[in-house]
Amino acid sequence: MTTLTLGKALNEGLRKAMDDDPKVLIMGEDVGKLGGVFRITDGLQKDFGEERVIDTPLAESGIVGTAIGLALRGYRPVVEIQFDGFVFPAVDQIITQLAKMRMRSLGKVELPVVVRIPCGGGIGAVEHHSESPEVYFTHTAGLRVVACSNPADAYSMIQQSIASPDPVVFFEPKRRYWDKADVDTETADWTPLHAARVVRPGDDVTVLSYGPAVKTCLEAAVAAGEEGRSVEVIDLRSLNPLDIETVTASVHRTGRCVVVHEAAVFSGYGAELAARITERCFYRLEAPVLRVGGFSTPYPPSRIEDHYLPDLDRILDAVDRTFGW
Amino acid sequence: MTTLTLGKALNEGLRKAMDDDPKVLIMGEDVGKLGGVFRITDGLQKDFGEERVIDTPLAESGIVGTAIGLALRGYRPVVEIQFDGFVFPAVDQIITQLAKMRMRSLGKVELPVVVRIPCGGGIGAVEHHSESPEVYFTHTAGLRVVACSNPADAYSMIQQSIASPDPVVFFEPKRRYWDKADVDTETADWTPLHAARVVRPGDDVTVLSYGPAVKTCLEAAVAAGEEGRSVEVIDLRSLNPLDIETVTASVHRTGRCVVVHEAAVFSGYGAELAARITERCFYRLEAPVLRVGGFSTPYPPSRIEDHYLPDLDRILDAVDRTFGW
Amino acid sequence: MTIDSVRGAPGDPGPAEPELVQLLTPEGQRVEHPDYPLELGADEVRALYRDLVTVRRIDLEAVALTRQGELGIWASLLGQEAAQIGSGRALGEHDMVFPTYREHGVAWCRDVDPLNLLGLFRGVNHGGWDPAKYGFHLYTIVIGSQTLHATGYAMGIQRDGVLGTPSAGATIAYFGDGATSQGDVNESFVFASVFNAPIVFFCQNNQWAISEPLEKQTRIPLYRRAQGYGFPGVRVDGNDVFACLAVTRKALEAARTGQGPTFIEAYTYRMGAHTTTDDPTRYRLKAEEEAWKLKDPIERVKAYLVRGDLADSAFFEEVEADAKAMARELRAACLALPDPEPLSIFENVYAEPHPLMTEEQEQFAAYLASFEEASR
Amino acid sequence: MTIDSVRGAPGDPGPAEPELVQLLTPEGQRVEHPDYPLELGADEVRALYRDLVTVRRIDLEAVALTRQGELGIWASLLGQEAAQIGSGRALGEHDMVFPTYREHGVAWCRDVDPLNLLGLFRGVNHGGWDPAKYGFHLYTIVIGSQTLHATGYAMGIQRDGVLGTPSAGATIAYFGDGATSQGDVNESFVFASVFNAPIVFFCQNNQWAISEPLEKQTRIPLYRRAQGYGFPGVRVDGNDVFACLAVTRKALEAARTGQGPTFIEAYTYRMGAHTTTDDPTRYRLKAEEEAWKLKDPIERVKAYLVRGDLADSAFFEEVEADAKAMARELRAACLALPDPEPLSIFENVYAEPHPLMTEEQEQFAAYLASFEEASR
Ligand SMILES: Cc1ncc(C[n+]2csc(CCOP(=O)(O)OP(=O)(O)O)c2C)c(N)n1
Ligand SMILES: Cc1ncc(C[n+]2csc(CCOP(=O)(O)OP(=O)(O)O)c2C)c(N)n1
Ligand SMILES: [Mg+2]
Ligand SMILES: [Mg+2]
């Protein structure tokens, strides 16, 4: 066990993957000497060389497109998108090429590409640096989409994603990069990549979340507990596939569910959760699945982002409402 | 009243808009002499000239990006994306620029750009020509998203969209381009752009749809009617904003709801409908809102696309299931 | 003068008969070019002729099959045979091709069964051959995307450390004149030049992007695009199979030996419609087509063979007959292509198990079975 | 030779001291360039000097405010003052500017209150000024996007039929060396050249894109990119305010009179960090910064003024004092900037009513009110 920040855990996970497999490459803007603007690739170019840790031209479509080509040649590229808001120039390559190549080839082509995206708000940044674009990818068949929320998962999930023969979009909760926790770097006996995890058991209501909002949900659960309400918090970890079994088992028990994410609620990932859970647990639900998320607006200027992001009070408010239904 | 195909109705609507306002421009690939691959802009370049009907270089980001610039200069560009699957290179300009410019300018900049997208399958086409990418836009605040399903709406909605001071993503049901119906081209007394419409009243179950699937839903309603089941079909017409009042009024009456679209179900637009309706009609629902749509896979080769697309039987099957819940 | 003196007039795509590398005139006359010496034995020329005729015949058959409703659509290569066979026959074992949707001639050179191509356009799959097996990637329909894949693959070759060795390969990316406007294609130029990747950009300038003439994409000759990125660009007579062969060979060899990218503009003409659903009479003049007919890529090789007494009429008849027989077989095989199983929709989406695939597949299987039961 | 003889060596961005248009040496010596005659009165030179000093002072203040936590981040223009003031002062009333996030000097020339810029970086809004009022579009953060907007705007100017008349304007798109790799930027070159749009592409090559040196974006000098698209490219000394003024003036005038686009590479240097969150010691050498210090854009104008007896120490002191006073005011105004109202989140998303905006706003207002009630 070592204590690592989430950022450092990712860095160690990447290093381990590169050590284990010489085909693993890192590509992106400023990933070399700088180690990325969040230092996630810090030191890797120094140790693995410029051929394996590649500072690319400033062009996201080019980065993902050439990563696909490298994967076709047998490499396993891990692509860094510098900020969530800059993944959009690459969306065409991700949606029309990366996601569909396997089907196009009737299974003959494998594209083990990982697209890392630091996501979410709360760091006081300017426009385009606080987006939560997960739905654009969860709706795209052929991609696997995961989101880590803590250092231990960051360490294991990045390695599992790199090992995946399918392309993976990997969301990193940027405002949690500096959170610290114990990480067991000795074991590889990890929770499966696509399994959700009950991070706090409870009996009265199920709160579902992923990525940066998980921590807020845990805080809300503690606060609710002080008021005598037993909140179960599930960290989904994987958005596509969704571990619906773990989710429905919980909601079957509690009969109430609140979904929390930073992305805008309208047409967001929470909609899929609500729709699917309702189908599965129709007779068990005491209230509709409620969604707490970003408002259905563009991300606001940072001075008021705390109002946009779901916070403890808004989560508790939704929990309360499920009881008052 | 004249009888027009849906394609011709769009053409007449565009012509009317260009006649009415010299600032209206048409831009896209092959929109000039050819009149577009579906002939939607047929004859317009001949009559309005190359300055107003612009054959652009083959670059979708360029098309939308320059349309934004033209709008900043006071023009009202109507952009044609040749096929649904080719909107992705333009997604960055649409999501990070077109949608957000108004907020970025605190309301000082208006971008009355219409992005026309022929969408959906069923025409026996090759890959990338049968996509239903609406969710990528409904989740993007700042855009209005509409989908026409019949000639009369095609004629009015395209004009309303062009008149909108906000950017509009306009979906056209390509396999319905050749459907004919009466269109009143004399009146401008139209249903508001963002109002849903009950296209077939019924009492037992509400079927919600939009775009190409509306017709299939109407056929299913007829078939169900023959078996004694009264199906209300609502054509949503507008996806963002959603006319939730019309929808919930219906579901409140029927207590049952089936959502039908061509897009993949997982994380699709139907999820938002299901989630929102369930919140609003929780105690009225006799069964969960069921979703019928494309499978959560890439669009299949055309020889089996009829299995992928929601058809009459799959809709009826879902209707049945809501009664058996 | 710091300002580049070349201010191309807008809408002027260069001179009507641009300077281009030519080794065989439309009349079948062999000419020499100092940079591109080429020696071909009679056997080799006959083989090229056979290739040209064969791929034209396959193409014709596919067009006919489309008219008869057996294919959903077809993108004809008519007129571009020399560009494709010339460049295709320049390829070596270790090279990797990244085609568009029109490279049937190159596919032929890479031993991809034409039936595979027909399958795609018939709608039984989206391609489905094994790119690694043939050194020929899947057809790519989204304009320009494949140029980045080709560049990345070339960066992989570099990383394998084989450049300059006998097992060195290069990549070749095919694309059209229209594609040169796409951001992806220009980004591929950036990546290729910055990394000095072993790649040949082979642009078939067939003068049209569906209904849009060349001047909607550029105001100067396309081969000069490469100048902006610092690697060589060359314009070759795309209807001259010898020239296409020689120019591509040289560029591939440069790539394999670590000299980086080359841009080749094969100046040719799309003799047919864009695809079988297109109607060129709406946007171009018959006279233009007629003028290009005189530059037919096959006739000039035939003239050369005849003129040099390198082939007799028996040879020409045999080639014709063989092509016809192959087309007949191809047609039969196409008609016999089975439709995919409905449940195959859920296959090949993911390599590893995915619960949603399983769930939807099971539900759909049960649904389909319910009809069988009902009809029993 | 058809193959372009310029095969740039990869990783070689051209000669260390490239040929560039220069009218004022780092030592303050006036030199002539045949293509760019420039006559400036003493008043004009002093005004330029004042501009340069003022925008540097504003920039310094913004950096200080960031260090003190008053701004979230700041992108400093240090070292690029001449490129921005030179080009900015070349602009006419009808011209339209499309900046990145670093054009504080150009904003100054367009009378945009610096407080607006501070507001954006403080996080009180995403910009919010009226582009039409100032002829200065909103800052654009997504690299390269604005080059297409500029091109489209220029196409609009064409359609207005004003080119060649006194009310003709041109557009000028600013972007960095890194941006030249983006698909959007290259597509804007295609559109601009094909439509012969009245636009000037003004690339501030400050040698770095965050931590990546120029050779990660190109292997030949950037101004030559324009050759690939058939319009002129010119490299100017970006630390020479006279040269930037003259070269931009000429290019704008060409655009306004219908001669189409020009690409200007202003060869300069980012003296500071990429932004206040960046740490250049991780990736570049102090020596490089020192070498560029000798080419400071302000010092050379001062030397020129002193040498020519065009200004006395009173002038320099006054300029300094004025800049200082303005910075003081700016700081105070920045600190006084009110945070936006939480409910403003729902404003300006749409021009016309949108039921979801209304619904969410009402719900949020009720939610906020519930706290007020609770705390009462
Ligand atoms: C991104 C994208 N946009 C639009 C299309 C539709 N489309 C298919 S072929 C074509 C023209 C291509 O022209 P060119 O690159 O010259 O190739 P050619 O067909 O002439 O071989 C267009 C616009 C597409 N396939 N992909
Ligand atoms: C599409 C996109 N990708 C990445 C970024 C992150 N980013 C901000 S500035 C920058 C470097 C820009 O370099 P350059 O174009 O040279 O401009 P400079 O900052 O040097 O003025 C990067 C990568 C971005 N803003 N947009
Ligand atoms: Mg073409
Ligand atoms: Mg720079």
Instruction: Evaluate the omega torsion of the peptide bond into residue A288 and state whether it is cis, within 30 degrees of 0.
Output: no
* Residues of chain A above pLDDT 70, percent: 100
Q: Which chains touch B (3 or more CB pairs under 8 A)?
A: A, C, D
> What radius of gyration do chain A's Cα atoms show?
19
pLDDT at residue D9 is higher than 60: no
What pLDDT does residue C375 have?
73
Burial readout C29-51 (b: 16 or more C-beta within 10 A, e: otherwise): eeeebeebebebeeeebbebbbb
Ligand 1 site-directed mutation target among C274, C278, C284, C292, most atoms within 8 Å of CB? C274
| CB of C42 less than 8 A from some CB of D | no
User: Is D33 in the active site?
Assistant: no
Task: Report which ligand 2 atom has the smallest distance to the Cα of D180.
Answer: 15
A238 three-class SS: strand
pLDDT at residue D81 is higher than 70: yes
| CATH fold for domain D3-335 | Rossmann fold (3.40.50)
What pLDDT does residue C15 have?
44
Q: Is the Cβ pair D141, A89 closer than 8 Å?
A: no
Among the residues of chain D, which ranges form H helices?
Answer: 42-67, 81-88, 104-109, 114-122, 131-134, 145-160, 183-195, 241-256, 286-293, 297-307, 313-335, 355-375
pLDDT at residue C12 is higher than 90: no
- List phi, psi (to 5°) of B292: -115, 125
What pLDDT does residue C19 have?
83
| CB of C182 less than 8 A from some CB of A | no
D104 three-class SS: helix
Rounded mean pLDDT, C39-60: 98
Averaged confidence pLDDT in chain C? 95
Rounded distance between C-alpha atoms, residue A257 and residue A270, angstroms: 11
pLDDT classification of B142: cutoffs 50, 70, 90: very high
pLDDT at residue C2 is higher than 90: no
The residue of chain A with its CA nearest to that of C150 is: A69
Instruction: Give the ligand with the smallest distance to the CA of D207.
Output: 4
- The active-site residue, picked from C102, C110, C149, C274, is C274
C49 three-class SS: helix
pLDDT at residue D304 is higher than 90: yes
Question: What is the per-residue pLDDT across C52-62, written as a single tens digit (0 to 9) for each?
Answer: 999 999 999 99
Give contacts of B 234-263 with D, CB under 8 A. 240-245
What pLDDT does residue C17 have?
52
The residue of chain B with its CA nearest to that of C117 is: B126
Averaged confidence pLDDT in chain A? 98
Question: What is the per-residue pLDDT across D320-338, written as a single tens digit (0 to 9) for each?
Answer: 999 999 999 999 999 999 9
Q: What's the burial of B232, exposed, middle or buried (CB within 10 Å: 0-12/13-18/19+)?
A: buried
Question: What is the per-residue pLDDT across B198-231, written as a single tens digit (0 to 9) for each?
Answer: 999 999 999 999 999 999 999 999 999 999 999 9
Q: Which of B139, B136, B174 is nearest to B154 (CA)?
A: B174
Question: What is the per-residue pLDDT across B1-40, written as a single tens digit (0 to 9) for each?
Answer: 899 999 999 999 999 999 999 999 999 999 999 999 999 9
Residues from chain C contacting residue D196 (CB–CB below 8 Å): 10-11, 219
Q: Is the Cβ pair A166, C350 closer than 8 Å?
A: yes
Atom 19 of ligand 2: nearest residue by CA position: D209
Task: Report which ligand 1 atom has the smallest distance to the Cα of C204.
Answer: 21
Residues from chain B contacting residue D194 (CB–CB below 8 Å): 57
Q: Tokens standing for D64?
A: 């200080």
Question: What is the per-residue pLDDT across C79-95, written as a single tens digit (0 to 9) for each?
Answer: 999 999 999 999 999 99
Residues of chain B with CATH 3.40.50.920: 197-322
What pLDDT does residue D274 have?
98
Q: How far is the CA of D14 from the centre of ligand 4 (A)?
A: 17
- Residues in chain A predicted with pLDDT less than 70, given as ranges, are none
Residues of chain A with CATH 3.40.50.970: 2-183
| CB of D273 less than 8 A from some CB of A | no
- The active-site residue, picked from D50, D270, D300, D304, is D270
Residues from chain A contacting residue B96 (CB–CB below 8 Å): 85, 88, 128
Is the Cβ–Cβ distance between A9 and A39 less than 8 Å?
no
> Is the CB of B179 within 6 Å of ligand 1?
no
Q: How far is the CA of B99 from the centre of ligand 2 (A)?
A: 21
Rounded distance between C-alpha atoms, residue A115 and residue A133, angstroms: 13
pLDDT classification of C372: cutoffs 50, 70, 90: confident
pLDDT classification of D375: cutoffs 50, 70, 90: confident
Q: Is the Cβ pair C345, B128 closer than 8 Å?
A: no
Residues from chain D contacting residue B105 (CB–CB below 8 Å): 127-131, 138, 348
Q: Which of C227, C204, C226, C208 is nearest to C217 (CA)?
A: C208
Atom 7 of ligand 2: nearest residue by CA position: D143
Rounded mean pLDDT, D142-149: 98
What pLDDT does residue C374 have?
75
Picking from B85, B139, B291, the nearest residue to A267 by CB comes out as: B139
pLDDT at residue D281 is higher than 50: yes
pLDDT at residue C11 is higher than 70: no
Q: Tokens standing for A302?
A: 């940072």
Residue D133 β-bridge partners? none
Edge-to-edge strand order for the sheet containing C96-98? C96-98, C171-176, C199-205, C262-267, C233-237
Question: What is the per-residue pLDDT across C182-225, written as a single tens digit (0 to 9) for each?
Answer: 999 999 999 999 999 999 999 999 999 999 999 999 999 999 99
Is the Cβ–Cβ distance between C45 and C39 less than 8 Å?
no
Beta-strand (E) ranges in A157-308?
168-173, 180-183, 197-200, 205-209, 231-235, 238-240, 257-264, 290-294
pLDDT classification of D372: cutoffs 50, 70, 90: confident
Question: What is the per-residue pLDDT across B86-98, written as a single tens digit (0 to 9) for each?
Answer: 999 999 999 999 9
Question: What is the per-residue pLDDT across B279-318, written as a single tens digit (0 to 9) for each?
Answer: 999 999 999 999 999 999 999 999 999 999 999 999 999 9
pLDDT classification of D12: cutoffs 50, 70, 90: very low
Instruction: Give the ligand with the smallest distance to the CA of B83.
Output: 1
Place of tokens 């009415």: B20
Q: Is the Cβ pair A65, C129 closer than 8 Å?
A: no
The residue of chain B with its CA nearest to that of C128 is: B301
Is the Cβ–Cβ distance between B121 and B309 less than 8 Å?
yes
Question: What is the per-residue pLDDT across A184-227, written as a single tens digit (0 to 9) for each?
Answer: 999 999 999 999 999 999 999 999 999 999 999 999 999 999 99
Task: Specify the CATH class of B197-322 in words.
Answer: alpha beta
What pLDDT does residue D2 have?
32
pLDDT at residue C38 is higher than 60: yes
In this structure, the dihedral spanned by the alpha carbons of residues A140, A146, A147 and A150, taken in order and rounded to 10 degrees, is: 180
Q: Is the Cβ pair B58, C182 closer than 8 Å?
A: yes
Question: What is the per-residue pLDDT across A161-187, written as a single tens digit (0 to 9) for each?
Answer: 999 999 999 999 999 999 999 999 999
User: Which ipTM did the prediction report?
Assistant: 0.97
Give contacts of B 35-74 with C, CB under 8 A. 35, 37, 55-59, 61-62
Place of tokens 């000795």: A186
- List phi, psi (to 5°) of D110: -95, 10
| CATH fold for domain A2-183 | Rossmann fold (3.40.50)
β-pairing, B257-264 vs B205-209, is parallel
Q: How far is the CA of C274 from the centre of ligand 1 (A)?
A: 9
Q: Which chains touch D (3 or more CB pairs under 8 A)?
A: A, B, C
Rounded mean pLDDT, B231-249: 98
Count A/C contacts: CB-CB distance under 8 Å.
Answer: 146
Question: What is the per-residue pLDDT across C300-348, written as a single tens digit (0 to 9) for each?
Answer: 999 999 999 999 999 999 999 999 999 999 999 999 999 999 999 999 9
pLDDT at residue D8 is higher than 50: no
Domain extent listing, chain C: 3-335, 345-374
Rounded mean pLDDT, C105-126: 98
pLDDT classification of C376: cutoffs 50, 70, 90: low
Residues from chain C contacting residue B57 (CB–CB below 8 Å): 178, 181, 216-217
A12 three-class SS: helix
In Å, how far from its chain's centre is CA B204? Answer: 26
Residues from chain A contacting residue B264 (CB–CB below 8 Å): 139, 141
What pLDDT does residue D373 have?
78
DSSP assignment of C73-96: -----TT-HHHHHHHHTT--TT-E
Rounded distance between C-alpha atoms, residue B187 and residue B190, angstroms: 8
Rounded distance between C-alpha atoms, residue C240 and residue C296, angstroms: 9
What pLDDT does residue D376 have?
64
